[in-house]
């Protein structure tokens, strides 16, 4: 077993550039947890304790996707306690640590400030083993949180694998040993079901006015090639299918008078070609500068990391592109027998768009039924504006957020916080802002740029106009 360091050794006592009055509101721990006795593989974590304690303590483990992208994205650009506003480090009023303890984890090794002296991991089985080793050693350092209700959030491919690993671990425990108290999964704009996600691009660009006859002709031809590859082997990533997004972005660039292309993470925005969103959000330069400063690295007890920090690791991404692991959707029906799952999507995201998630749900059978059937859509307002719609059935909740991008907490921090608090079973009236789940989906004022989207998808309608289920 790896050497266990005392919790106080991880305490973050002086985070650079954070005002003293803001620092007083936070209790944070950060550093590396070794996964093996020789400390050859180490995961970096940033742990923020809750501001308000609940009767049943909650622990959220935030994982960014990529693969290979640092959870500093979540910390500074999403659900974390701090943000860069006008290049200044400030408190995020939509931070999820209001009622929950939150761990932002850089994984797999080679991501962010995590490191290894061994080879990078090339499959999700080994990555899951590392995650379970992290949990074991994290709770050894923080035993007071070992019985917290645990939830995993955000990354669509990792989370179902990790949930399955946790349940398998619990099932194999000898009598008298403490099981991990996994109470829910929340996946935002997740890459869970590649088949449905790849076949969502054509209807998405049509619905959002991004298509032309020329683009559709090219996409239909490329989708046929994509489907042939999927019929041969259903993988998490298919190179021929990835070309579908490339067609959309190149077409947007060629038809834009300013020489810009559509931002693949937020279709309301444009970007230089071929980045097309890879340099977004605009706070990325401040975040990168901050996390490469020696005084910040020292404050986070991360001196052992392979520096300098980068937002996403090309090495990790390239290694996992050859992963033959089955798509994460494979495990969802069994997971839904054992715990609740929240799938949420921002309607302005192209790359992992909401139509793909809706196809997934409509074509998945769980707990004896397929899809949502006749489950009603529920309108949801935050601060008297229509934030989106909810549907719930048999342990599965789906939330479509209006006027939100791939990074929902970045665009809609209060809506994202309210969504998570409701999902965790917390009383929304304790929040400092107003929210309501209505029975009338048409209630509330739609925010500027938002829209009402019909999320009903007929069962089996993977390819509405352009093919059939392979």
User: Crossing angle, helix 158-171 and helix 124-141, to 10 degrees?
Assistant: 60
Per-residue pLDDT at 464 exceeds 50: no
- DSSP class of residue 51 equals S
Query: Which string of b and e fits 223-235 if b means at least 16 CB within 10 Å?
Result: beebbeebeeebb
Query: Is it the case that residue 463 has pLDDT exceeding 80?
Result: no
Q: Tell me the per-residue pLDDT of 355-385, one tens digit each, with 9 for 90 and over.
A: 999 999 999 999 999 999 888 999 999 999 9
Domain membership of residue 394 (yes or no) is yes
| Residue 148: active-site member | no
Residue 406 known to be catalytic: yes
CATH label of the domain that carries residue 60: 3.40.50.1820
Where is pLDDT greater, at 369 or 445? 369
pLDDT tens digit string along 256-305? 988 899 999 999 999 999 999 999 999 999 999 999 999 999 999 998 88
Same domain? For 337 and 235 the reply is no
Domain extent at residue 224: 198-281
Active-site pick, 148, 323, 349, 411 = 349
Query: Residue 443 half-sphere exposure, CB side, CA atoms within 13 Å?
Result: 15
- Based on the domain organization, do 273 and 414 belong to the same domain? no
Give the model's pLDDT for residue 344: 96
pLDDT digits (tens, 9 = 90+) for 314-371: 899 888 877 888 899 999 999 999 999 999 999 999 999 999 999 999 999 999 999 9
Do both 206 and 102 map to the same domain? no
Identify the pLDDT of residue 268.
97
Say which of 70, 153, 252, 362 is annotated catalytic: 153
**Dist CA 167 CA 136 (whole Å):** 14
**Do 135 and 249 lie in a common domain?**
no
Structural domains of the chain, count: 2
Please give the Cα distance from 348 to 268 (Å, whole number): 7
Single residue among 225, 258, 281 that ends a domain in this structure = 281
Residues 105 and 26 occupy one common structural domain = yes
The Cα–Cα gap between 105 and 174 comes to 28
* Active-site option among 97, 145, 301, 406: 406
Strand ranges inside 246-402, DSSP E? 260-262, 270-272, 340-346, 365-366, 369-370, 378-382, 385-393, 396-401
Same domain, 239 and 189: no
307 confidence band (pLDDT: 50, 70, 90):
confident
DSSP state of 132: H
CB-based burial label for 286 (10 Å; 0-12, 13-18, 19+) = middle
Residue 153 has a pLDDT of 59
Residue 129 structure tokens: 């083993």
Catalytic residue status for 228: no
């Amino acid at each position: 077993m790896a050497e266990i360091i005392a919790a106080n050794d991880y305490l973050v006592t002086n985070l650079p550039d954070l005002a003293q009055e803001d620092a007083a509101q936070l209790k944070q721990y950060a550093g590396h947890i070794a996964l093996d006795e020789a400390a050859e593989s180490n995961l970096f974590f940033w742990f923020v304790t809750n501001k308000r304690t609940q009767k049943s303590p909650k622990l959220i483990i935030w994982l960014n996707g990529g693969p290979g992208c640092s959870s500093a994205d979540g910390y500074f650009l999403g659900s974390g306690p701090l943000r860069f506003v006008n290049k200044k480090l400030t408190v995020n009023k939509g931070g999820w640590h209001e009622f929950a303890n939150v761990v932002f984890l850089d994984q797999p090794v080679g991501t962010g400030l995590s490191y290894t002296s061994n080879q990078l991991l090339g499959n999700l089985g080994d990555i899951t083993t590392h995650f379970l080793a992290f949990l074991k050693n994290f709770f050894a350092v923080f035993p007071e949180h070992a019985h917290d209700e645990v939830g995993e959030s955000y990354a669509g491919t990792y989370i179902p694998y990790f949930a399955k690993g946790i349940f398998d671990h619990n099932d194999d425990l000898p009598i008298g040993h403490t099981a991990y108290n996994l109470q829910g999964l929340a996946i935002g704009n997740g890459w869970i079901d590649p088949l449905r996600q790849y076949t969502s691009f054509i209807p998405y660009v049509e619905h959002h006015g991004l298509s032309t006859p020329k683009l559709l002709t090219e996409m239909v031809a490329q989708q046929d090639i994509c489907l042939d590859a999927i019929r041969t082997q259903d993988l998490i990533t298919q190179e021929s299918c990835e070309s579908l997004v490339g067609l959309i972005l190149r077409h947007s660039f060629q038809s834009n008078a300013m020489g810009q292309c559509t931002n693949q993470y937020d279709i309301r925005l444009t970007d230089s070609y071929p980045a097309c969103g890879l340099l977004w959000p605009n706070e990325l330069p401040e975040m990168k500068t901050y996390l490469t400063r020696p005084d910040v690295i020292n404050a986070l007890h991360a001196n052992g990391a392979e520096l300098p920090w980068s937002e996403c690791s090309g090495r990790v991404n390239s290694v996992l592109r050859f992963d033959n692991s089955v798509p994460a959707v494979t495990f969802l029906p069994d997971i839904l027998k054992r715990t609740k799952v929240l799938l949420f999507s921002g309607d302005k995201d192209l790359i992992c768009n909401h139509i793909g998630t809706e196809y997934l749900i409509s074509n998945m059978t769980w707990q004896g039924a397929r899809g949502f059937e006749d489950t009603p859509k529920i309108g949801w307002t935050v601060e008297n504006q229509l934030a989106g719609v909810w549907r719930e059935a048999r342990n599965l909740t789906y939330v479509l957020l209006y006027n939100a991008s791939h990074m929902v907490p970045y665009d809609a921090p209060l809506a994202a916080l309210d969504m998570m608090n409701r999902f965790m079973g917390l009383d929304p009236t304790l929040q400092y802002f107003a929210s309501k789940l209505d029975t009338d989906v048409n209630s509330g004022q739609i925010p500027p740029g938002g829209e009402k989207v019909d999320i009903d998808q007929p069962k089996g309608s993977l390819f509405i106009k352009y093919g059939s289920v392979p």
